[in-house]
Amino acid sequence: MSIVHALQSAVSQAVEELYGQSVPQEQLQLQKTRSEFEGQWTLVTFPLLKISRKSPEVTAQELGAALLERHPELVTSVQVVKGFLNLTIATAAWVEDFNAIRHDADYGHIRATEQSPLVMVEYSSPNTNKPLHLGHVRNNLLGYSLALILEAAGQRVVKTNIVNDRGIHICKSMLAWVRWGEGATPESTGKKGDHLIGDFYVLFDKHYKAELEALMAAGKSKEEAEATSELMAEARAMLRRWEEGDEETVAIWRMMNSWVYAGFDETYERMGVSFDKIYYESETYLEGKAEVLRGLKEGKFVQDPDGSVWADFTDEGLDRKILLRSDGTSVYMTQDIGTAKKRFDEYPIDKMVYVVGNEQDYHFKVLSLLLDRLGYDFGKGLVHFSYGMVELPNGKMKSREGTVVDADDLMDEMIATARSIAEEQGKAKDMSPEETDEVARRVGLGALKYFLLKVDPRKNIVFRPEEIIDFNGNTGPFIQYTYARIRSVLRRAAEQGISLPETFDSKTLTLEAKEQELVAKLAEYADVVADAARDFSPALIANYVYELVKEYNQFYHEHSILKEEDETKRAFRLALSEVIARTIAAGSALLGIEMPERM
């Protein structure tokens, strides 16, 4: 039992003994004692006044006396400041807390059972008309990290991806390849497949804009030009042929998508994310279409004179949402209905989490209402993990204009920068070329992941590469360097033949204030993991790891470890360092960040 939980239990017993009424432990407010007062933990007594029917000061005094009398092994002194009871924790309690954490190799993580809730987390959701970019990187890292955190909190998780492999945007790339591709392939061009297809998407937009400009120059309005565009009409015709199963169109689609999938797989592997199940819009949109037609037949949707099908949510304070176009082709919402039904048919899902940017808040609000209207109980329980956008200093990224930060190029740049800095600072002089490459990869990608995950997911991020790789401050490399430093200390201890006891004697070992603070920080890890899972926030993990690292570095500079003459203290500090390194690695792993053994 951690010190916090032990305190909650002791206070709960004292309240019941003193005032004859029990209080749930989770309702007891314990917070860290402010530095200007005595003690390490502070009990806030104000919520207990209805039970004690006494003043805050008297309540605090009575509880303090009870704790000192009944739990001297836990509390050695108390200080009453108005309605706050400051508690000084016994050294023995800190040592016992540390022993428990040290002996639990999975401290803070809970193993799921067959009865644990099953959560499906959807992330990535790429289109097969372009490569992954910086926005996708944040999405993938958030989704993957959230899945790992939910697993660490004891839930069963299915990591899933829906690939948007059909639709008008896909046909734009296909049409551009047919018209101007001259048979280009990844092999003939030397390009990754997803990059090649992305080039054709940009090429389509270039020709489309030129066509619109020519039409407007001839006297048409923008709306008239868009309505009479031959290029767009040809793309729509290609989409209709695809939905009708035209062999030539489907063959081109399969070929180009296969190029993209190979490129995606390479990027995913390098990014360090994975999926348990991949769905494809081409395999779910028909199921969604059938659901829409069922809803139309049952009077839940309406059909306009042009043949398009709509859901009317004006009574709910929203607007009308198109579900099928006038030519019978599907929209994103149609596919999402079909995918949701397919998932709940295939898995006993307790919670479905969509990791999608906040630009789609309205979409998922409507999806929930649509599924509920179609009679699915799970409709209202869908969770949209809405996160902020990643923007460049000069504005938003636009794929069709080619103004994006490509994911592959970005990872190349981060790794190259990490290698360059290491060489400049002489950190790689004792490493083999292979180890240098591996450390550069871990540091470069770790820096990128930490930069994108340390921020509250709901906030927008302005991407400034110069802020990412820094061996000081709140950065991934600072955390990795501290881990490597600890591992170096432990290697030197092993070389010197220093052995550590299985457990530390709480009756004889005394701890410095900073050591107590570090034990307290380690004990927080379990609650941080639980909070991160509850709030869907990898940022809580990132910031916890940074605070732990910062506290350790202060300890490292203020206290001797290997040069400590007292063998017991030296052994404890080595063990403390070892557990801190383990916790840094465990917390960072929940962010998808790997630790280097040397830097």
Pairing of strands 84-89, 41-44: antiparallel
C-alpha triplet 323, 381, 158: angle, nearest 5°: 95
Tens-digit pLDDT profile for residues 301-359? 999 999 999 999 998 889 999 999 998 888 889 999 999 999 999 999 999 999 999 99
User: If DSSP codes are grouped into helix, strand and coil, which group holds residue 348?
Assistant: coil
Report the C-alpha gap between 511 and 524 in whole angstroms. Answer: 18
575 in Cβ contact with 504 (< 8 Å): yes
Q: Nearest-CA neighbor of 123 among 163, 164, 165, 161? A: 161
The answer to whether 71 and 478 are in contact (CB under 8 A) is no
Edge-first strand order for the sheet with 75-81 is 29-32, 41-44, 84-89, 75-81
Answer whether 518's CB lies under 8 Å from 551's CB: yes
Give the DSSP H/E element, type plus range, for residue 380.
none
Give 333-343 pLDDT, tens digit per residue.
999 999 999 99
- H-type alpha helices, 425-537: 433-453, 476-495, 513-535
**pLDDT tens, residue order, the chain (599 aa):** 688 889 999 999 999 999 999 888 878 999 989 989 999 999 999 999 999 999 999 999 999 999 999 999 999 999 999 889 999 999 999 999 999 999 999 999 999 999 999 999 999 999 999 999 999 999 999 999 999 999 999 999 999 999 999 989 999 999 999 999 999 999 999 999 999 999 999 999 999 999 999 999 999 999 999 999 999 999 999 999 998 999 999 999 999 999 999 999 999 999 999 999 999 999 999 999 999 999 999 999 999 999 999 999 998 889 999 999 998 888 889 999 999 999 999 999 999 999 999 999 999 999 999 999 999 999 989 999 999 988 877 544 444 444 578 999 999 999 999 998 888 887 777 889 899 999 999 999 999 999 999 999 999 998 887 778 888 889 999 999 999 999 999 999 999 999 999 999 998 899 999 999 999 999 999 999 999 999 999 999 999 999 999 999 999 999 999 999 999 999 999 999 999 999 999 999 999 999 999 98
User: Which residue from 40, 51, 44 is spatially nearest to 29, judged by alpha carbons?
Assistant: 44
Cα separation of the two ends of the chain: 36
Predicted pLDDT of residue 535: 96
- Distance (Å, rounded) from C-alpha 544 to C-alpha 474? 11
pLDDT of residue 403: 55
Q: What is the pLDDT of residue 397?
A: 41
Q: Can you give the pLDDT at residue 1?
A: 61
pTM: 0.91
